[in-house]
Amino acid sequence: MAQNRGRAARQEVMDAPAMARTIARMAAEILERDGDGVMLVGIHTRGVPLADRLARSLEEVTGHKVSVGRLDITLYRDDVGPWRPAHQQPVLKRTVLPASIDDHVIYLVDDVLFTGRTVRAALDTLIDYGRPQAVRLAVLVDRGHRELPVAADVVGKNIATTRSEDVQVRLSEVDGEDGVWIGREVGNAG
Amino acid sequence: MPVEAAAALAAKDVVGIQRLSPGEIQLILNTAEELLEVARRPIKKVPALRGSTVINLFMEPSTRTRFSFEVAEKRLSADTLNFSASGSSVSKGETLFDTARNLMAMAPDFIIIRHPHSGAPHRLAEVVPASIVNAGDGINEHPTQALLDAFTMCQHFGGLEGLKVVIAGDIRHSRVARSNAFLLGKMGAEVRFVAPASLLPLDVEELGVIPFVRLEPALEGADVVMMLRIQLERQKKLNFPSMREYYDFFALTPERLALAAERAIVMHPGPMNRGVEIDSRVADGPRSVILEQVTNGVAIRMAILYLLAGGRSEAASDS
């Protein structure tokens, strides 16, 4: 087969209609658990459109506006700083929270839960903005291989993977298409 | 057309605007834009530089720049050490390199240096492994000031290309004017230098700026008016008859400011000498962005420290 090197066979594990159903189910779980007074906070990059979609789904059911924010965790990462071997600093993005997070139930939203390091950084970032009543975690895909004691409260799909496999979540807002794929190449989904 | 930001800074140091590409300048401006937000949080501190050490080596008096760097370092969680010329071994005759070698024994990651001699930061950058940031060297460059000035202009006009910028005052002795001329030239703005002929630099043509010896014609249609103070400490005698006469011919008064574009902003790097180069009614007026410049200075210095902490871009692409 004339395939590009490193572009090994990838397998689709969630198509666009399945993703829409999954997001609707996740919204229903959030509603059942905490009601419609929650604040959804997407983690850059793909957590941001996912939080928007969850909010739309919640609004359709309840008819109420749901607050949505976005979080940039770059300055809190554990792999950024002068003690690391020379590397390129990640580009900073904007953190926007629609209101004070004090006494709100916050749902952190991300595409893939892997090592748990992103979530650790997100918790540290969030807590510098105030004292939420509770922080929960909603992810589209949990692929296992945690390096920190982190668990998601709402999971779209659990996918069994090996460490070297690459889980790719693609969203139309960022990538032009919806779907989840698993490939053999080593990726950076975290 | 906006300049595309570079992926990283190419050198380990920021010693002058002359050595930065337009893409690197844009990267610093973009990064500062995001870091501005840190000052508005309830907790004005992020852990990005925790565990790193910054030495602030100020061999010339400075209040604004030194405080600005120190605030930037603290907001990024770096540990800071302050070293000033008076009360140190420098006043006992130690050379810059001996001072630097001793400081390196304390393993700093960054040295911020202000020095009365032009080129001192460049030489230091060659001999020490720490990242050097120039906080003003003699009459050569003051790159972080030019970057914060550009950042302030971008906030007001959305970009730099095509802006008409007047820089008036003691140009010959001003590293701020030089760094601004380099930066604005690289980013496509038009720079007009205004000073009595005795205070214009000798290489004014090579800097690519338009020289004026009177303020009024230069102000015609200007978007930005940047006033500089007379640097008495850098000249043995006054290069013009009197301060009073300087005010009469070169000070920015409300009447003169009316000649500039309607949207024009007034800038000053400080310290200001009210009643010499700038009238109080202008300095405190609605077009003055002088205090915004100070706020923006912290974000620019944070951006430079953050980006330098990543190491060199060629090393990054190797890994």
For residue B45, the model assigns a pLDDT of 95
> Considering the domain boundaries, does residue A7 fall inside one?
no
**Segment A155-172 mean pLDDT:** 96
| Per-residue pLDDT at A188 exceeds 70 | no
Number of domains making up chain A:
1
Whether residue A107 lies inside any domain: the answer is yes
* Confidence at residue A4, expressed as pLDDT on a 0 to 100 scale: 45
Which residue type occupies B6? A
* From A87-96, A172-181, B307-316, the region with the lowest mean pLDDT: B307-316
Closest chain A C-alpha to B47 CA, distance in angstroms: 6
Judge: B46–A76 Cβ closer than 8 Å, yes or no: yes
Is A110 part of any domain? yes
How far B160 CA sits from the closest chain A CA (Å)? 22
ipTM > 0.85, yes or no:
no
Whether A1 is in a domain gets the answer no
From residue A104, how far is each of A26, A38, A64, A100, B45 by CA, in Å? 19, 6, 16, 8, 23
pLDDT of residue B242: 84
pLDDT confidence of residue B43: 92
pLDDT at A83: 54
In a domain, A134, yes or no: yes
Confidence tier at A190 by pLDDT (50, 70, 90): very low
Burial of B126 (0-12, 13-18, 19+ CB in 10 A): exposed
pLDDT of B256 reads 97
Does the structure show a pLDDT above 90 at A9? no
Tell me the nearest-neighbour CA distance from A108 into chain B, angstroms: 19
Domain assignment present for residue A3? The answer is no
Picking from A44, A87, A129 by the largest number of B CB atoms within 10 A of its own CB, the best residue to mutate is A87
CATH number for the domain harbouring residue A162: 3.40.50.2020
- List of domains in chain B: 17-141+295-311 (3.40.50.1370), 143-289 (3.40.50.1370)
Residues of chain B short of pLDDT 50, as ranges, are 312-319
Q: Which DSSP category does B110 fall into?
A: E
Indicate whether A163 belongs to any domain.
yes
pLDDT in tens, A48-86: 999 999 999 999 999 999 999 999 999 998 876 655 566
Q: In this predicted structure, what is the pLDDT of residue B202?
A: 83
Tell me the chain B residues in contact with residue A95 when contact means C-beta distances shorter than 8 Å: 37
pLDDT for B236 equals 67
Chain A: give the shortest CA distance to residue B116, in Å. Answer: 29
Of A159, A169, A168, A170, residue with least CA distance to A186: A168
Q: Please check whether residue A128 is in contact with residue A116, taking contact to mean a CB–CB distance below 8 angstroms.
A: no
Contacts of A129 in chain B (CB under 8 A): 41-43
Query: CA of B234: how far to CAs of A95, B65, B143, B181, in Å?
Result: 45, 18, 19, 20
Closest by Cβ to B316, choosing from A75, A87, A94: A87
pLDDT recorded at residue B155:
97
Q: What is the domain range of residue A170?
A: 12-81+91-183
- Please state, as a whole number, how many other Cβ atoms lie within 10 Å of the Cβ of residue B275: 13
Does some domain include residue A57? Answer: yes
Cα–Cα distance, A165 to A188 (Å, whole number):
10
A72 chain-B contacts, CB cut-off 8 A: 34
Q: How far apart are CA A36 and CA A114, in angstroms?
A: 28
User: Minimal CA–CA distance to B69: which of B17, B147, B158?
Assistant: B147
Q: Does pLDDT of A8 surpass 80?
A: no
